[in-house]
Structure 1
Amino acid sequence: MKDHYHKELEAYQVSVGGYSRFAITMLRDAFDAFSSLDRELACEIAGGMENFCIQTDEPAMHQEIRVPRKVFLSLRSDQLEEQGLKLIALHQPVAYDLRTISCCMNLISSAERIGRYGKDICHCTYKLPEGIHIRGMARLPEMAEGALSMLEDSLHAFQTRDLSILEGFSSRDDVIDELRYLIYEDCISIMEEDPRTIPYCATYLLVDRYLERCADHACKTAEKIHYMITGERVDIR
């Protein structure tokens, strides 16, 4: 039978995976709202409420409150980080266990940022004029799908310990970087042709930057997962 510590470590990994899933879903939903120019959905995503459990030393005394999602992202991040530090302090893990906790903490930090990028994309939806997108959103849907698939795969690799999922991550990140510059060039050309497109293109460039940073988080997470499993450092760029 597994001892209490390893059960606690497994539960911690499940919690971190759940938090990461929440952040990725928030990002995907935010981009869907942006794509459809659905201000009501964007408002619900950015300003919605989540249940947050206030933990105490006595499990029976745990309290649950509802907080805005942007507050939940920060509170849950701090809570999970604190749990990781307690695991280290109380059990002094080494080797694989220590690398696992370190990887979890990286996922926590990345998930908070990814969720906040989702909130920022929702705010971009409010900035756009009423109407429809221009020029196929300047390839943003392609970039979003690429970045989201990298985030999904990195989380899946963490949960399954399957490093084969991470193969080709550097090439996939190169595609995202190339799209970022193509979108920039397209937006500059579009704005030069018709100044009335400036509100759209300026917003596209913001979203373009957020998605590129999310892909970078996926690469950093992939590096940490590889190190967690093998004990060897790799550079995914």
Structure 2
Amino acid sequence: MTTATGDHIVKSYDEELQRLTGEIQRMGDLALTELEAAIAAVIERDTESAERIVKSDAEVDALELEVSHDVIRLLALRQPMARDLREVMAALRIASDIERIGDYAANVAKRAIALNQVAPVRPVYALPRLAEIAADLIREVLAAYHDRDADRALLAWARDEELDVLYTSMFRELLTYMMEDPRNITPCTHLLFMAKNIERIGDHATNIAENIYFLVHGTQIGLSRRKGDQSASVTMTAP
């Protein structure tokens, strides 16, 4: 028979876990907004907006600290086990990945500020497609976390290869532009760093997917993730 005190403890614990989930969702929404705004700042050559994005990253950092404090309190006071322990540890790991996503989005904004100091180059318009896939991955893993949907997380995990392939294609295109005209070297270098930051965002989204899968099933994904990033092996021949 469950006592009133026992019911209260269970309800209180559930509320703390819900609070943790809510903090993760807010973090993810903020990081996603950062990424989308950073890409808009690149396309619109909006330096003021890019500067605001860089400053706003502190809000994501503050939320990660809040999650860390809540996790420490839960571990100390509740001593969770089994599924409950996986819930708490997944929240800590996912918060860390979202914080890194926010950092990479801020890095894109920083590069946008520098890119605005030089003449526009055509390859900049390939960046939004790359960012669109990364943003889709973030949305999918956030939804999967909210619903504790391991299958949805697994689908997002597999889609990272699509992002890698597009990144490699953009990498090749930017190298070609730099070789064709030395004046393209500076802007294309900024775009290369932006593209790499977005590719890394995809990697962190897959980390989140892996943690969701482990949270639900208690096992790791039993597959090897295929990597489509071939930029390290790209060779170019001078025209």
Q: TM-score category by the smaller chain?
A: 0.7 to 0.9
Aligned equivalent of 1:104, options 76, 86, 91: 91
CA RMSD of aligned residues (A): 1.9
Q: What one-letter code is carried by the residue in structure 2 that aligns with 1:232?
A: T
Q: Which of these residues, 21, 41, 46, is aligned with residue 49 of structure 2?
A: 41
* Equivalent residue letter for 1:208: A
Instruction: Please tell me whether the aligned partners of residues 103 and 228 of structure 1 are also in contact (alpha carbons under 8 angstroms).
Output: yes
Q: Which of 67, 76, 84 pairs up with 1:89?
A: 76
Residue 26 of structure 2 is aligned to residue 21 of structure 1: no
Partners of 2:37 and 2:53 within 8 A in 1: yes
- 2:192 is aligned with what amino acid? L
What are the equivalent positions in structure 2 for 1:19-168 lying under 5 Å apart? 19-47=27-55, 69-129=56-116, 133-137=120-124, 139-168=126-155
AA aligned opposite 1:195 = P
SS in 2 for 1:168: helix
Structure in which a larger fraction of residues adopt strand: 1
Residue of structure 2 in register with 1:60 after alignment? none
Deviation per CA, 1:80-115, whole angstroms, max 9, x where unpaired? 111111101111111111111111111110111111
Q: Does 1:215 align with 2:218?
A: no
Q: Which amino acid aligns with 2:35?
A: L
Partner SS state of residue 80, structure 2: coil
C-alpha distance 124-208 of structure 1, shift in aligned 2 (>3 A)? same
**Contact 1:138 / 1:187 at 8 angstroms: preserved in 2?**
no
Deviation at 1:168, TM superposition (A): 3.2
1:144·1:211 contact (CA, 8 Å) conserved in 2? yes
Structure 2 segments unaligned to the other structure (5+ residues): 1-6, 226-239
Q: What amino acid does structure 1 have at the position aligned with 2:153?
A: L
How does the TM-score come out when normalised to structure 2?
Answer: 0.83
Could you report, residue by residue, the CA deviation over 1:177-219 in whole angstroms, capped at 9, with x for unpaired residues? 1122211111111111111111221011001110111000010
**Cα separation, 2, equivalents of 1:79 and 1:156:** 21
- Structure 1 residues 170 and 115 mapped into 2: Cα distance closer, same or farther (>3 Å)? closer
Kindly tell me the number of residue pairs found equivalent between the two proteins: 216
Give the TM-score of the pair, scaled to structure 1: 0.84
What CA distance in whole angstroms lies between the structure 2 residues aligned with 1:147 and 1:37? 21
The equivalent residue for 1:226 is: 213
Aligned counterparts of 2:211 and 2:35: Cα–Cα separation in 1: 22
- Once residues 106 and 8 of structure 1 are traced to their aligned partners in structure 2, the CA distance between those partners, rounded to angstroms, is 17
The residue that corresponds to 1:59 in the other structure is none
Cα distance in 1 for residues equivalent to 2:68 and 2:224: 25
1:130: how far off? 5.1
Runs of 4+ in 1 over 6 A off after TM superposition: none
* Distance in 2, Cα, partners of 1:165 & 1:208: 26
Identity level (%):
28
Q: Matches of 2:157 and 2:100 in 1, distance apart?
A: 21
Q: How far off its partner does 1:138 sit?
A: 6.0
Which stretch has the larger CA shift, 194-203 or 72-81?
A: 72-81
TM superposition shift of 1:170: 4.5
Letter in 1 for 2:51: C
Partner amino acid, structure 1, of 2:216: I
Q: What SS does the corresponding residue of 1:232 show, helix, strand or coil? A: coil
